[in-house]
Amino acid sequence: MSDHALRLLREQPHLAELAAFPFNFDLARADHGEAVRLASGGPLEAVAGDDTGGTYFVCGDGSVLYADSEGSAGIFGNSVDEALEVLVGLPGWHDCLGLAPADGEEKIRAAVAETEEEIREYHGIDDERTELRAGLGLPERSPVELIGLLHAALLRTEPDFLLLNAEEGGAHDLLDRHPRPPLWEAVLARGRTDLTLLREGSAWDEVAGDRARRALALRAAQFDRREGDLPLLRHLLRHEAEASMTDELRLAAVLVGLHGHTEDLSLLYEVRETDFDTWCGLGGMPEPGADPDELRSWARGLDDSLFGTDPADEPLFTWTGLAHEQGLVELARAALIRRLDDIDFRAYRDARDSKAMERRDASQLSSLVHEFEQLGDTFQALRAQRLYVPLQTRAWDRVSALLRLARLEREESRFGAAIRTLASLRDTLAEPDGGAGADESDNSLGHWQRTNLGAYIVEEHYAVARTAATDTALADEVRAVTVAAGELLARLSGTARANVERHLAATTDTHADTHTDISTDIHTDTGANPDAGVSAEPTPPRPSAG
């Protein structure tokens, strides 16, 4: 993208003065006042600002992002040259954010003319505009063309240019309020194309053999059901079974079953017998030889409870998971951050009203942590986990949540925070019934020394001590964590302690990560007990329905 005009402004003070006044693009105001960054991690350079506290940034592809002082941001132009065309041609552009090409030439010209007349009451813009356009080599465009450029640029803001507060991680609001297509529409686009190919009799093996394309084609078939789809649904069902138990496998079974052909029961049973997970996940289907109504009733029951025909009814995590699978990482990230911001705002609001966050947020936060980690975004995962921890009232759950929090803080190199979190974890181990909202009869930690949870606690203490040792300012805290790790290790059962010692002995690289994901299969060395059999931090599945 061209930055010809920006170079001229930097080289010619007179042009820079004209840009600063009356067009409010001031190279001397490039300090935004707070640290910001793109959610994508892309480069961002502040180049100018205005007298309202807003800042113009140049992104990696040359696009210009404008962030105001009230927490809103949007792409302003595809290049600095284009952004200056809009600024010079629409000096009252803030009042034009609601305009779009669909409004028509008459409405656009009238609105722009009214705004410019109000500006002229205070200072001139016409001669200055002519001079600056000539000096920068900018073309003269009509207000209609300029609104078209601005509107198209604003619509590109999300997902690739989502602006975050660098410290807290919250996203800026969109600068404009123009409607955007829903997430599911962008995610389903490829699936709809592939479904058309399948219906035409082409690309069957190409689509069925690709996990991401197969899942999207099944989702497209979910929302566009046709009688003639049964052969292709059978084909997709057979291939989806190779991925074991997935939401899409259950969907494929439902879509086949809704056709009510009892001869398909042999296929459904064959798929169900793929492995233990599929056997459990596809339970309850009619026995071979059942009549068509039984098959339809089984499929309809699952369809009503888990799927349906409206993509807007699917939970967010269905679409973010599918977006990630097909490489639309920033689309998934932006949607997840927006959801986390909503929960974060409710937490702030509820705290001010002295009310607890709604329990429904707990499961969403756990899923958000998982989804952000899948995207490799530990920063946002940490945000979500911090909100998740206070919601845990059962001692086992509190310890598990604190353990995960410490691990995320360590991975984000927030070693002091990780050390404090581990101290809170040890306090809970010492007094599991303590803390607000705790259940006085809670004995869920009664056997923690003999579980995988106990082993992971010790390993995380050693991992934090090892990585935090690089920070000399934390020397005393590191020694305390190391001592605590040794004391916890001594409290583990023989089998658990031997496993930890073997694992630590194998960790010869001082920079290696000793973290092991907390298993959903936790056993004691004397056999499973009711508490030890619960996952310390289970990985939430991508749900099929809300």
Q: Cα–Cα distances in Å, from 185 out to 202, 313, 319, 367?
A: 23, 13, 9, 22
Q: How confident is the model at residue 525 (pLDDT cuts 50, 70, 90)?
A: very low
**To which residue do tokens 């001079």 refer?**
131
| pLDDT at res. 543 | 40
What is the rounded average pLDDT of the residues 132-160?
Answer: 97
What is the rounded average pLDDT of the residues 259-267?
Answer: 95
Nearest to 192 by CA among 149, 184, 162: 184
What is the rounded average pLDDT of the residues 326-352?
Answer: 89
What's the CA gap between 63 and 46, in Å, rounded?
A: 12
What's the CA gap between 428 and 435, in Å, rounded?
A: 8
φ, ψ dihedrals at 23, nearest 5°:
-100, 0
Q: Measured over all CA atoms, what is the biggest interatomic distance in the chain, rounded to whole angstroms?
A: 88
Q: Which of 389-393's residues contact partners 24+ apart within 8 Å by CB, and which partners?
A: 390/357, 391/357, 391/359, 391/361, 391/362, 391/365, 392/362, 393/435, 393/437, 393/438, 393/439
Q: Which residues pair with 48 in a beta bridge?
A: 56
Q: Which residues pair with 73 in a beta bridge?
A: 67, 174
Is the predicted pLDDT of residue 536 greater than 80, yes or no? no
Is the predicted pLDDT of residue 247 greater than 70, yes or no? yes
Nearest to 546 by CA among 312, 212, 332, 370: 312
User: Is 355 exposed, middle or buried, given 0-12, 13-18 or 19+ CB atoms closer than 10 A?
Assistant: exposed
What's the CA gap between 8 and 524, in Å, rounded?
A: 72
| pLDDT at res. 113 | 97
Compare 535 and 143 and report the one with higher pLDDT: 143
Low-confidence winner among 396-405, 432-441, 466-475 (lowest mean pLDDT): 432-441
Which one-letter amino acid corresponds to residue 66?
Y
Q: How confident is the model at residue 442 (pLDDT cuts 50, 70, 90)?
A: confident
Low-confidence winner among 112-116, 180-184, 225-229, 441-445 (lowest mean pLDDT): 441-445
Is the predicted pLDDT of residue 95 greater than 60, yes or no? yes
| pLDDT at res. 360 | 60
**To which residue do tokens 């600095």 refer?**
80
Q: Are 198 and 210 in contact (CB under 8 A)?
A: no
Q: Are 89 and 130 in contact (CB under 8 A)?
A: no
For 480, residues 6+ apart whose C-beta sits below 8 A from its C-beta are 419
Q: Are 170 and 164 in contact (CB under 8 A)?
A: yes
| pLDDT at res. 440 | 58
Joined tokens for residue 418: 């990780």
Joined tokens for residue 162: 């989502």
What is the rounded average pLDDT of the residues 315-324?
Answer: 96
Alpha helices for 242-325 (secondary structure H): 247-257, 265-272, 276-281, 292-306, 316-325
User: Would you give the end-to-end CA distance of the chain in angstroms?
Assistant: 43
| pLDDT at res. 274 | 94
Mean pLDDT for the chain overall: 90
SS (H, E, C) 34-48: CCEEECCCCCEEEEE
| pLDDT at res. 433 | 72
What's the CA gap between 92 and 111, in Å, rounded?
A: 10
| pLDDT at res. 467 | 96
Please state whether beta strands 72-77 and 173-174 pair in parallel, antiparallel, or not at all (unpaired): parallel
Q: Cα–Cα distances in Å, from 221 out to 214, 218, 244?
A: 11, 5, 20
Is the predicted pLDDT of residue 270 greater than 90, yes or no? yes
Residue 447, Cα to own-chain centre: how many angstroms? 36
What is the rounded average pLDDT of the residues 28-33?
Answer: 95
Task: Count CA atoms closer than 13 A to 128's CA, side-chain side.
Answer: 21
| pLDDT at res. 86 | 97
For 20, residues 6+ apart whose C-beta sits below 8 A from its C-beta are 26, 27, 28, 29
What is the rounded average pLDDT of the residues 264-282?
Answer: 95
The pTM of the whole model exceeds 0.85: yes
What's the CA gap between 460 and 471, in Å, rounded?
A: 17
Low-confidence winner among 66-75, 170-179, 221-230, 512-521 (lowest mean pLDDT): 512-521
Omega prior to 179 cis, within 30 of 0: no
Q: Cα–Cα distances in Å, from 245 out to 97, 326, 389, 406?
A: 47, 19, 30, 32
Measured from the Cβ of residue 202, the count of other Cβ atoms closer than 10 Å reads: 11
Low-confidence winner among 25-39, 470-484, 508-522 (lowest mean pLDDT): 508-522
Q: How confident is the model at residue 522 (pLDDT cuts 50, 70, 90)?
A: very low
| pLDDT at res. 350 | 67
Measured from the Cβ of residue 353, the count of other Cβ atoms closer than 10 Å reads: 8
What is the rounded average pLDDT of the residues 130-153?
Answer: 97
